[in-house]
Amino acid sequence: MYAEDVVSRLRELYPSGYFHINKDPFYLLISTVLSQRTRDEVTIPTTQKLFSVFGTVQEMAEGDVDEIQELIRNVGFYRVKAQRIIDISRIILLDYNGIVPDSMDELLKLPGVGRKTANCVLGYGFEQDVIAVDTHVHRISNRMGLVETSEPDETEKELEKVLSKEDWKDINGLMVLFGQNVCRPVGPKCDECIMDDICPKFI
């Protein structure tokens, strides 16, 4: 199948997959919130900086919004995200006994958490078979002809139909790497692409 061929080539290109520094669900949750509208090279050190000061759910819930803003000011919409991080932490502390919920329905109740963020937590943090669709996954899946969709939520549903379930939680990381390095939104490196013999762009 075409989808299996695409995934196989991505795994060959990135055998180590997508490296997450920390797979703790709370760390992943906050990191993914910070990553919204922000590049990985900014998100990763900013998350590390934040957790070096506020290392637990309780510390984050009791954190001063101005101090958190200062720590995360390099990310986009840092003022909104600072308050959101405090609100999320308080809800987890008070409603979930300090433990990040491991279900989509419960995660979506948290402020600022959509399906992509929830699926990142469920896939990387809880090892669940889910597909986290970010801009890279949405763009590449459509560009490669795996799906024909206009919205990320549609892409998630359509990818579930064409990908083997064992590939669901890995496809995000593989396509993020591919999208950052080769299949870029502007100026894709088609001349270096391992998909050149199967990509619709070349056929």
Q: How many CB atoms sit inside 10 A of residue 178's CB?
A: 24
Binding-site members are 183, 190, 193, 199
Superfamily assignment of 25-125 in CATH?
Hypothetical protein; domain 2 (1.10.340.30)
Q: How far, in Å, CA of 103 to CA of 118, rounded?
A: 8
Domain spans of the chain?
A: 2-17+131-192, 25-125
pLDDT tens digits, 131-167: 999 999 999 999 999 999 999 999 999 999 999 999 9
pLDDT at 21: 64
Between 18-27, 111-120, 151-160, the lowest mean confidence (pLDDT) is in 18-27
Binding-site members for [4Fe-4S] cluster are 183, 190, 193, 199
Predicted TM-score (pTM) of this structure:
0.93
Q: How far is CA 147 from CA 45, 116, 117, 162, in A?
A: 34, 17, 21, 9
CATH code assigned to 2-17+131-192: 1.10.1670.10
